Amino acid sequence: MLDLHGEHMNVRETRAVVGLALVYAFRMLGMFMVLPVLATYGQDLAGATPFLIGVAIGAYGLTQALLQIPFGTLSDRIGRMPVIIVGLLVFAAGAALAAEADSIWGVIAGRVLQGAGAISAAVMALLSDLTREQHRTKAMAVIGMSIGLSFAVAMVVGPLVTRAFGLSGLFWLTTGMALLGLLVILLVVPRASRTLAHRESSVARQSLGITLKNPELFRLNIGIGVLHAILMASFVALPLALVDLGGLPKEQHWWVYLTALLVGFCGMVPFIIYGEKKRQMKRVLVGAVSMLLLCELFFWQFGTSLHALVLGNVLFFAAFNLLEATLPSLVSKIAPAGGKGTAMGIYSTSQFLGAALGGMLGGWLYQQGSLDAVFIGCALLALLWLGFAATMREPPYVTSLRHPLSAAGLADPGLNARILAVPGVTDAIVVNEEAALYIKVDTQQLDRAWLERELEEAPVTQSA
């Protein structure tokens, strides 16, 4: 469990991780490629208004938010593969519907249907089924990196594809990537021998109420919702600002996003290292939210030239990437032992709701006022978030572990108390229905030898 021997993933696990990361990346590419182009190219669609374009930008988030937890629960009952296969087909159908649309309403319908292919929870659960305990954290990190990379690629590829083939071609490419993901699922990803209940990657319904009431997790849920609301609203305004104020043709926007993402990514790395090593994640979070606020104010007051807009984009994406990487880590630290899956499920729902509301808000503000109204609205959202972030506690710097138990281990009445007595163990819970012990440890204070001795006395079952 503690991965003391540095054992590598086997071939089956590697196939599972690579295959599922590709499925995630193909889907996220299709979802995000429209962001930098819909505000400009969408104006040519019949019935298009700024508000409806904003709705189209964020529409996927509404159905994604409503369905991702139910689909994850359904995958526990009927299996991961059927849910993922149907979800990819629904996503492809939504992209095809948008590709065939000649009105903004058709694109909205397609984006709503895309979001209904909500397979995120099922994919993460399948990843848990196909990997052993000691490799699960690494496997999930690979999935996280694939999401970040696909967002960066989408910001660059979206404008290039749309310049060459139009919005219809972009959506047809999205359809093709969803079907390619389906082939990966069918031909590359191994079949799981069994479906595992796993609280680190799936939602436990009995924990929903407690998790929703946790004030520190609530702050993070507000944060990710606001972050994606600002992102979607900003993409109603930024492409138009580059054209109208920066004088940059929409066909050339790709290099702005490429520059912003590359520089922004390099800029965020030192802050993540500082926050983790110095245990100053709250300071990093508050600083990044403040930067996001300043960026929106900068766009409002000074975003009247191409140079200013490029600089603003660089700073915006540096703050966005830092927050996007930091928030899930904070959720993992703050969630109680055995509660990460539930906390992440609510967190993801908040993210998608924020995306849906942000697109609508950005479109409405632009229609009612101007680009300035969008930037001011985003600044107010960032200011609201800053208030929540500034009052949060410094998070615990802990790592989650899971130890499978045999019947003898489950029958040991003193096991949980002995584990909690180990220096550096901050939380522990035995989950009988999973035959597992969940532990949270502070690695800098953990008496590893003591923990190993206690776990050796708790017989284990064979993990997946």
Residue 42 is classified by DSSP as G
How much of the chain exceeds pLDDT 90, in percent? 58
Structure tokens at 75: 């995958």
**Average model confidence (pLDDT) across the chain:** 89
Q: Indicate if 399-456 has the same CATH topology as 208-397.
A: no
pLDDT of residue 197: 66
pLDDT of residue 462: 45
Write the pLDDT tens digit of every residue in 416-439. Answer: 888 999 999 999 888 888 788 889
Unique residue bearing structure tokens 């729902």: 349
Q: Is 198 helix (H, G, I), strand (E, B) or coil?
A: coil
Evaluate if residue 459 carries a pLDDT over 80: no
Residue 402 is classified by DSSP as E
Residues of 47-58 as b/e, b for ≥16 C-beta within 10 angstroms?
ebebbbbbbbbb
The mean per-residue pLDDT over the stretch 188-198 comes to 79
pLDDT-derived band at 2 (thresholds 50, 70, 90) equals very low
Sheet holding 425-431, edge to edge: 399-404, 436-441, 425-431
Evaluate if residue 174 carries a pLDDT over 90: yes
| Dist. CA 68–CA 120, nearest whole Å | 7
The residue extents of the domains of the chain are 11-191, 208-397, 399-456
Strands 425-431 and 399-404 come out as unpaired
Domain 208-397 in CATH 1.20.1250.20? The answer is: yes
Evaluate if residue 3 carries a pLDDT over 70: no
Write the pLDDT tens digit of every residue in 81-124. Answer: 999 999 999 999 999 999 999 999 999 999 999 999 988 888 88
- Residue 214, judged by CB atoms within 10 A of its CB (0-12, 13-18, 19+), counts as middle
| Dist. CA 230–CA 320, nearest whole Å | 10
| Dist. CA 238–CA 36, nearest whole Å | 8
pTM of the model: 0.91
Class of domain 399-456: alpha beta
Write the pLDDT tens digit of every residue in 316-369. Answer: 999 999 999 899 889 988 988 888 888 989 999 999 999 999 999 999 999 998
Structure tokens at 459: 């017989």
pLDDT of residue 308: 96
* 11-191 homologous superfamily: MFS general substrate transporter like domains (1.20.1250.20)
Q: How far is CA 161 from the centre of its chain?
A: 24
Spatial neighbors of 162 by CB under 8 A, at least 6 apart, are 37, 41, 169, 170
Rounding to the nearest 10 degrees, give the CA dihedral for residues 61, 68, 349, 101.
Answer: 0
Q: Is 5 helix (H, G, I), strand (E, B) or coil?
A: coil
CB of 20 within 8 A of CB of 189? yes
CB of 39 within 8 A of CB of 235? yes
- Residue 39, judged by CB atoms within 10 A of its CB (0-12, 13-18, 19+), counts as buried
Q: Is 423 helix (H, G, I), strand (E, B) or coil?
A: coil
pLDDT-derived band at 141 (thresholds 50, 70, 90) equals confident
